[in-house]
Amino acid sequence: MFGKVKVLIVDDSGFTQEVLKTILEKDSAIQIIGMAEDGRKAIELTQKLKPDVIVMDINMPAMNGFEATEHIMAYCPTPILILSSVIDKEGVFTTFNALAAGAVDVMEKPSMLPSNSWSSIGDVLIKKIKSISKAKVVTHVKGRVKEFSPHVKPVSLIKSNTPEIVGIGASTGGPSVVMQILKSIPSDYKPGILVVQHMASGFIKGFSDWLGAACKVKVSLAKDGEKIEGGQALVAPDGCHTIVRSKKTIGLVSGEKVHGVKPSVDVLFNSIAEVYGNSAVGVLLTGMGADGAEGLKHMKERGGATIAQSEDSCAVFGMPKVAIEKGAASKVLSVEEIVRALKFINNRQ
């Protein structure tokens, strides 16, 4: 018999603490073991109580959620779910900095009133907490995005053709990995880059802006009919699927969710496979579920180079695991090896 998932709630609002406690304890598999009103208290209780998951607010007095996450991930690594309002640009950046510092995922916090707005997220929140409790977390000494040394052997994708497009798919644990990859890509990168990151509604624009502020390549949300160009990364927006209609042209399409998500990695990868064939590279990163595995396999069957993130470097070895089991991955690489492989493409053109 497995034990309960022990949860620490961190929020400066007593009302929010009690609402979260009530919602989460409706599930018999979850136990609230403590509540903290600021980051300093969160650090103290994390060290004392050793929770399985921390639900962390961002905007708090004394010490905010980013600073607390940074400290916890450096000294007592614990799966952290950021619960944040979609607010101004500075607040969104603080949220994503917390993800870069080691937090596993983010969800939108409902408005304070009416209280029944919280009940609408209950099932999703419980499911996410259970999933995050199984995530593999590592110590982040500085809680910052890692810079990779250029003095290492390049990773060849063993392709004779010249790649024109790189498709990247990620879910839980993905934002910090996508940042690590894109931050290492030079501004003169020749292939276009398309990214699907599963994310709570309302956060994807902030994610794109956060990447753009730190990366040498231009990063923006994809628009229907937009050209795909080198030196830029286009991020799939909320509420629709992103595809390539023809070489160099993006399309945004409606349709049902695939694997329960929209945008879907599978939809993007399948379109890349059909349009670009053997001049495509697909990269499937950390995340729960199976989205992207079939699409990656399709890319491989069409002659493209395909990469799945290695288990030891994944926060959640779900999507890459399914892809590997399906024989969809040409290579299984760590994050640093993925960076070196993508850089190798540019260096040989």
pLDDT higher than threshold 70 for residue 102 = yes
CATH number at residue 85: 3.40.50.2300
* Residue 119 and residue 16 share a domain: yes
Which pLDDT score is estimated for 145?
A: 44
* Residue 335 and residue 204 share a domain: yes
Which pLDDT tens digit goes with each residue over 237-276?
999 999 999 988 999 999 999 999 999 999 999 999 999 9
* Residue 191 and residue 48 share a domain: no
Contacts of 217 (CB under 8 A, 6+ apart): 182, 185, 186, 187, 189, 193, 231, 232, 233
* Residue 190 and residue 75 share a domain: no
* Residue 271 and residue 186 share a domain: yes
Whole-angstrom Cα distance, residue 135 to residue 28? Answer: 20
Whole-angstrom Cα distance, residue 314 to residue 27? Answer: 27
Which pLDDT score is estimated for 10?
A: 98
* Residue 269 and residue 127 share a domain: no
Contacts of 332 (CB under 8 A, 6+ apart): 307, 308, 309, 310, 320, 324
Which pLDDT score is estimated for 146?
A: 45
Backbone dihedral angles phi then psi of residue 251, each to the nearest 5 degrees: -130, 145
How far lies 105's CA from each of 30, 65, 265, in Å?
18, 13, 18
Last residue of a domain, one of 114, 132, 150: 132
38 catalytically annotated: no
* Residue 276 and residue 174 share a domain: yes
Which pLDDT tens digit goes with each residue over 4-55?
999 999 999 999 999 999 999 999 999 999 999 999 999 999 999 999 999 9
298 catalytically annotated: no
How would residue 193 be classed by pLDDT, with cut points 50, 70 and 90? very high
Last residue of a domain, one of 109, 132, 155: 132
Contacts of 101 (CB under 8 A, 6+ apart): 66, 69, 70, 73, 140, 143, 144
CATH number at residue 258: 3.40.50.180
Which pLDDT score is estimated for 299?
A: 98
Helix (H) or strand (E) holding 56: strand 53-56
- Catalytic option among 171, 176, 310, 330: 171
pLDDT higher than threshold 70 for residue 182 = yes
Which pLDDT tens digit goes with each residue over 207-221?
999 999 999 999 999
Residue 151 lies in a domain: no
Mean per-residue pLDDT, 115-140? 83
Which pLDDT score is estimated for 109?
A: 84
Number of domains in the chain: 2
pTM of the entire structure? 0.90
- Catalytic option among 71, 140, 198, 298: 198
pLDDT higher than threshold 60 for residue 349 = no
- Catalytic option among 131, 140, 291, 298: 291
* Residue 322 and residue 180 share a domain: yes
Mean per-residue pLDDT, 112-136? 80
pLDDT higher than threshold 70 for residue 298 = yes
Report the chain's C-alpha Rg in angstroms: 20
Residue 172 lies in a domain: yes
Mean per-residue pLDDT, 325-336? 96
* Residue 123 and residue 76 share a domain: yes
Which pLDDT score is estimated for 148?
A: 45
- Which amino acid appears at position 308 of this protein? A
Mean per-residue pLDDT, 179-203? 94
Q: In terms of residue numbers, what domain contains 174?
A: 165-347
How far lies 47's CA from each of 8, 73, 83, 256, in Å?
11, 11, 21, 44
Q: What is the mean pLDDT of the chain?
A: 90
241 catalytically annotated: no
* Residue 226 and residue 120 share a domain: no
Last residue of a domain, one of 81, 107, 132: 132
